[in-house]
């Protein structure tokens, strides 16, 4: 396994040419060789050729729907046993407080799933 040194992963300021984002011309000096532009979010990568260094956008592959939303799906699936366990426990203990706590936890998990779903769609 090959490891990159710090010089290989971070742009230097000294003898290298200044590189700019291919989309918004933001100065990428001092940033990692591959990453997202802090100004516009465009992905870039750099390499050196005989005529100098260049910045180019990196194409992104969109993941399948199931892979993008796995966190949301798992949160909803995990909320069901929480609700079931709190119902059984409140029946055994004969206390509605336990069911209230279970409902609150279930609501928070579903809310987190909805937020994660929209966050994952945007990213």
- From first to last of its 123 residues, the chain has per-residue pLDDT tens of 444 444 444 444 444 567 788 888 888 888 887 888 888 888 877 654 434 444 454 555 667 888 888 889 999 999 999 999 998 998 899 888 989 999 999 999 999 999 988 887 765
Question: Would you state the pLDDT for residue 81?
Answer: 93
Does residue 72 sit in the same domain as residue 35?
A: no
Q: How far apart are CA 61 and CA 77, in angstroms?
A: 27
The answer to whether position 34 is within a domain reads: yes
Question: Would you state the pLDDT for residue 43?
Answer: 82
Does residue 51 sit in the same domain as residue 100?
A: no
Q: How far apart are CA 66 and CA 80, in angstroms?
A: 19
Q: What is the largest distance, in Å, between two alpha-carbon atoms of the chain? A: 78
Does residue 35 sit in the same domain as residue 81?
A: no
> How large is the angle between the packed helices 96-122 and 70-93, nearest 10 degrees?
180
Question: Would you state the pLDDT for residue 107?
Answer: 95
Give the tokens for residue 93: 């203990």
Could you tell me the residue range of the domain that residue 43 belongs to? 6-57
Does residue 23 sit in the same domain as residue 46?
A: yes
The answer to whether position 90 is within a domain reads: yes
Long-range CB contacts for residues 55-60, cutoff 8 Å, separation at least 24: 55/19, 55/20, 55/21, 55/22, 55/28, 56/22, 57/22, 57/23, 58/34
Does residue 52 sit in the same domain as residue 69?
A: no
Question: Would you state the pLDDT for residue 59?
Answer: 52
The answer to whether position 1 is within a domain reads: no
Q: How far apart are CA 57 and CA 1, in angstroms?
A: 27
Does residue 52 sit in the same domain as residue 73?
A: no
Question: Would you state the pLDDT for residue 6?
Answer: 47
- Which helix H or strand E contains 62, and what residues bound it? none
User: For the chain, how many structural domains are there in total?
Assistant: 2
Which residues are paired to 32 by β-bridges? 10
The answer to whether position 37 is within a domain reads: yes
> Given the DSSP bridges, would you call strands 34-36 and 52-57 parallel, antiparallel or unpaired?
unpaired
């Amino acid at each position: 396994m090959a490891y990159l040194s710090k010089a290989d992963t971070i742009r230097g300021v000294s003898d290298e040419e200044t590189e700019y984002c291919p989309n918004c011309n933001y100065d990428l000096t001092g940033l990692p060789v591959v990453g997202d532009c802090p100004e516009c979010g465009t992905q870039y990568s750099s390499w050196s050729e005989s005529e100098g260094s260049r910045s180019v956008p990196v194409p992104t592959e969109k993941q399948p729907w199931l892979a993008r939303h796995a966190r949301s799906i798992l949160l909803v699936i995990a909320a069901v046993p929480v609700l079931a366990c709190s119902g059984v426990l409140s029946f055994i203990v004969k206390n509605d407080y336990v069911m209230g706590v279970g409902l609150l936890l279930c609501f928070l998990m579903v809310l987190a799933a909805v937020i994660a779903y929209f966050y994952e769609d945007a990213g």
